[in-house]
Structure 1
Amino acid sequence: MPSRFIFSLRFSSKVFVKLLKLSIAMIFFMTLFRMNLFFLNVYYVLPDLNFTEIMQSFFAGLRFDILIFGFLFIPVYFFIMLQAVWEKWPQKLFLVYKTYFGIAWILICCLTFIDFFYFVHHGKRMRFAEYSSWTPEVTLEQAKALQINQIVVFTIISIVLLVLGHMLIKSLKFGEWKDEYSPHPAKKGEMALRILVPLVLIVLAARGTVEAHHLALEHSEVSNSKELNEMALNAVWCFDK
């Protein structure tokens, strides 16, 4: 019996790959945010840093950043799978995906920007209690304690990364799905792989680890330095803590 589902499923894999590439780029941008924090603050606060511990902090930070995008992908996965079953790929839904990641990136950049001034002032990331009582005046007050070059450099880089993320999202093209039929029934192995592989990757990313327990605060503790441990976290992960 002719089937078009396998072609729809294959197209869903292409959509996942496009969004995966976008997420990898954004995770790289989040690492640049962390590097910015390191060179503008942590490097000067802790002059006797151990290179191995610095690398461990950045590696732990990478895991926390991947976790954020793992959670972002969860609703996207189910929507894409529904489209694959529905066997329809309207361009308007691609716009929804781009808008979703666009809003997420704006929030990530905004939280990271606000968190920077708090981190420099207190040597740790903001938590939910601090976000709950936050006002623009708080950040302005914290900024007064910083050198002007710290503010200018971080602000410029934040804007650049925000714009780069926006440009990547805007340039994202998913292509057109060709409404084709297969004269042969789809192979169950291929179908299972195309459905399960993205799901497994998303679950692993959202958990942040293959261990029994999901990624937690203790995974950021790579040093005796509070600042270095806190640097491994990110503003989004700390938001609800």
Structure 2
Amino acid sequence: MPSRFIFSLRFSSKVLVKLAKLSLAMVLFMSLLRLNLFMLSAFAKVEHNSFLEILHSFGAGIRFDILIFGFLLIPIYFILLIQAICEKWPKWIFIFYKIYFASIWLIICLLSYIDFFHYSHHGRRMRFAEYSSWTPELTWEQMQALQTNQALFFTISTVILLVLGYMLIRGLQFGQWKDEYSPQKGSKLELALRIVLPLVLIVLAARGTVEAHHLALEHSQVSDNSALNEMALNAVWCFDK
């Protein structure tokens, strides 16, 4: 007779897959934020760069975006593993997961919004030093330096992406782990795959590369144009730099 642990572990895998899919959707949304940055600001700064260089910048940007959610999924993985071992799945924990991702998405959108006006003015992403001295008045001044339609379109698009992310989070359905009962007995291979494989994938995502060194600033250097290189980064990654 299979133990309750394997059922609990299977359910934890199910929850993790749902959260991983949500993370991938948010990576897509971050790419759309970068596309807005390109269309509304960076385009004029990179008009002499080739299409392949611009495409390479977007590709590098996806790696930096995945890195963010790789780090965010690390604590989620261990919480789920503890739950699987304890075989406890209270309803409040699913609310916590939703609040966790909703808070993160709000922070990403806010930082990206502030960073847009800094990038438009300076041609580079904000770093921790700029965030430390940031004031709403500074963003307002940078906003006024742009054309009204630029600021308005980016504001509207950011709000739309914020709402879409919130809707995805709110619509998450995790089910109940008791539905995972099955006559199938878990093998050692299944245990290894459900415990080790997700951790390996999450760590790789958080590192951003399979190379000896993790993803770093040099991985955004796709051309001689610093504005294009900076576009590959994201506001969250630059926050502690």
TM-score above 0.5, yes or no: yes
Q: Are the structure 2 counterparts of residues 89 and 153 from structure 1 closer, same or farther at C-alpha, using a change threshold of 3 Å?
A: same
TM-score (norm 2): 0.97
Q: How does 1:70-85 map to 2 (within 5 A)?
A: 70-85=70-85
TM-score (norm 1): 0.97
Distance 1:229 1:139 in 2: 22
The answer as to whether partners of 1:4 and 1:180 remain within 8 angstroms in 2 is: no
The answer as to whether partners of 1:3 and 1:182 remain within 8 angstroms in 2 is: no
Q: How does 1:1-241 map to 2 (within 5 A)?
A: 2-178=2-178, 186-241=186-241
The answer as to whether partners of 2:119 and 2:125 remain within 8 angstroms in 1 is: yes
Distance 1:91 1:46 in 2: 49
Structure 1: stretches of 5+ with no match in the other structure: none
* Structure 2 counterpart SS, 1:178: helix
Distance 2:10 2:43 in 1: 47
The answer as to whether partners of 1:2 and 1:181 remain within 8 angstroms in 2 is: no
Q: CA deviation at 1:90?
A: 1.3
Letter in 2 for 1:209: T
Q: Are the structure 2 counterparts of residues 93 and 211 from structure 1 closer, same or farther at C-alpha, using a change threshold of 3 Å?
A: same
Per mean C-alpha deviation after superposition, the further-off stretch among 25-34 and 86-95 is 86-95
Q: CA deviation at 1:175?
A: 0.8
The answer as to whether partners of 1:4 and 1:182 remain within 8 angstroms in 2 is: no
Structure 2: stretches of 5+ with no match in the other structure: none
Q: Are the structure 2 counterparts of residues 177 and 52 from structure 1 closer, same or farther at C-alpha, using a change threshold of 3 Å?
A: same
The answer as to whether partners of 1:70 and 1:206 remain within 8 angstroms in 2 is: yes
* Structure 2 counterpart SS, 1:125: coil
The answer as to whether partners of 2:2 and 2:186 remain within 8 angstroms in 1 is: no
Distance 2:46 2:80 in 1: 46
Q: Are the structure 2 counterparts of residues 56 and 183 from structure 1 closer, same or farther at C-alpha, using a change threshold of 3 Å?
A: closer
Distance 1:157 1:138 in 2: 21
* Structure 2 counterpart SS, 1:20: helix
Distance 1:2 1:48 in 2: 63
Q: CA deviation at 1:180?
A: 6.5
Q: CA deviation at 1:182?
A: 6.5
Query: In percent, how many aligned pairs have the same letter?
Result: 67
Runs of 4+ deviating beyond 6 Å: 179-184
Q: Are the structure 2 counterparts of residues 124 and 187 from structure 1 closer, same or farther at C-alpha, using a change threshold of 3 Å?
A: same
Q: CA deviation at 1:187?
A: 1.1
Letter in 2 for 1:48: H
Distance 1:18 1:185 in 2: 24
Q: Are the structure 2 counterparts of residues 189 and 48 from structure 1 closer, same or farther at C-alpha, using a change threshold of 3 Å?
A: same
What is the root-mean-square deviation of aligned Cα atoms in Å? 1.3
Q: Are the structure 2 counterparts of residues 26 and 179 from structure 1 closer, same or farther at C-alpha, using a change threshold of 3 Å?
A: closer
The answer as to whether partners of 2:11 and 2:180 remain within 8 angstroms in 1 is: no
Q: CA deviation at 1:186?
A: 2.9
* Structure 1 counterpart SS, 2:111: helix
